[in-house]
Amino acid sequence: MPRFDRLTPETAVGASRELLGELVERHGTVGDMVSTMAHSPAVLGGYLQLSRAMRRAKIDRRTSELISIAVQAQQGCGMCLASHVEAARSLDVPEEKIRLAHDGTSSDAALAAIIRLGLQVYREPASITDDQVDELRAFGYSDRAIADVVGVVSLNVITGAFNLVAGLTPG
């Protein structure tokens, strides 16, 4: 059960009112997470900025969704996990790849390595080694794509943690 009320451009105040108003004007509606994030203009603004910035990531969308599935399976946000599974399916990612990502791996060595990096960034970034980064480069990942994994994980942390604190669930 949600712990916070959803806000609208009419019920939000200050910067949140402006942010929600712009979003509703552009998209017609906003989801539960965004309308609830509006309780904190700092959190909502930060989420929106990071989300926009990650659209310029060099890591491809299918890989990003698989990393997100792996991270959300660990973090425990059912709402985010369902959203990323749905997004992966919309990109025609095979069910087996989705299942393996949920388990933190892949049958493709390069994809398994980048998913493993995402999970390490989430759990224990200090454990990442030079050899691991060299392996990712050998698989063809650029330094920018490797760095983008940090952004993908960060976006998942903010959305998943917020949804869990706010009591938002799939529905």
Beta-carbon contacts of residue 118 (< 8 Å; ≥ 6 apart): 67, 70, 71, 149, 152, 153
Q: Could you tell me where in the chain the CATH 1.20.1290.10 domains are found? A: 61-166
pLDDT value at position 47?
95
79: pLDDT confidence band, cut at 50, 70 and 90? very high
pLDDT value at position 148?
97
Average pLDDT for residues 141-164, to the nearest whole number?
A: 97
Q: Is 118 helix (H, G, I), strand (E, B) or coil?
A: helix
Length of the chain: 171
2: pLDDT confidence band, cut at 50, 70 and 90? confident
CA pair distance 128, 126, nearest whole angstrom: 6
Alpha helices by DSSP H, listed for the chain, are 14-27, 32-37, 41-54, 61-75, 78-90, 95-102, 109-123, 130-138, 143-166
Architecture of domain 61-166: Up-down Bundle (1.20)
**What rounded mean pLDDT belongs to the chain?**
95
